[in-house]
Amino acid sequence: MLFDFVLLDKLRAARHIAIFSGAGMSAESGIPTFREAHTGLWAKYRPEDLATPDAFLRDPATVWNWYAWRRDFVRQARPNPGHLAVARLESLVPKVTVITQNVDGLHQRAGSGNVIELHGSILETRCFDCGQPAEDAALAAAAPVQGETPPRCGHCGGLLRPGVVWFGESLPSAAWNRASDVLDDADVFFCIGTSSLVEPAASLPRYARSCGRTVIQINPEATSHDEIAQYILRGKAGEVMPELLAAAWPRA
């Protein structure tokens, strides 16, 4: 792929690069997107039937088991070349911040050290009632009572739930505030593998452009972000990002 020389110069001159990633990046590692995950045994459910607080209260066992099924995909997945290229940026630019809609932890496993998880993590668990996080060891020790699923909180006895943001819930304020602060400081804003459908996260690229940042869209397909991006690189992150880094820093 040929890249614009001005774009390459902007990358080399950047002091702070923000990476905004979505489900398309995880899909390259074999993790089904949210709606693709409703196949096989789960085909009869709508996503909204399994990803809301009301759904959990109505049928906590089914919701818990669905997320356990999804968690297996995440644990088996490996970071793809796109994740690795993003992590490598940290050795090329003074500061890199990853803002992700994904809940799989693949950016951290690839080596990225500054990751903001807007929608939480499927690898974490917290109490539905008191909000207290459950450590892995505590979760393993929280054996279901008489076959009860999900397990109970060790602090208050409430039901444990996945540590993700469900429909109808607000984004964690600390993560959202950190993401907003990043856009006030970053020179370049990458938008990678996101469909631009889920708000309020989808508003971040528009905000970045309004702040005068250089916005770069990487996606195999067109999205509404194409309208505000100065540079549109059509392709998968695992293909485009390594090539882009090699073009910008050929001797690195």
What is the C-alpha to C-alpha distance for residues 230 and 226, in angstroms, rounded to an integer? 8
Q: Is 225 a catalytic residue?
A: no
Q: DSSP label at 102?
A: -
Give the residue from 77, 25, 65, 67 showing the smallest Cα distance to 241. 25
What is the C-alpha to C-alpha distance for residues 2 and 197, in angstroms, rounded to an integer? 29
Which residue among the candidates 38, 119, 155, 225 is catalytic per the annotation? 119
CA 116, 69, 32 angle in degrees (round to 5)? 60
Give the number of residues written for the chain. 252
What is the C-alpha to C-alpha distance for residues 34 and 5, in angstroms, rounded to an integer? 37
Q: Which residues are known catalytic residues?
A: 119
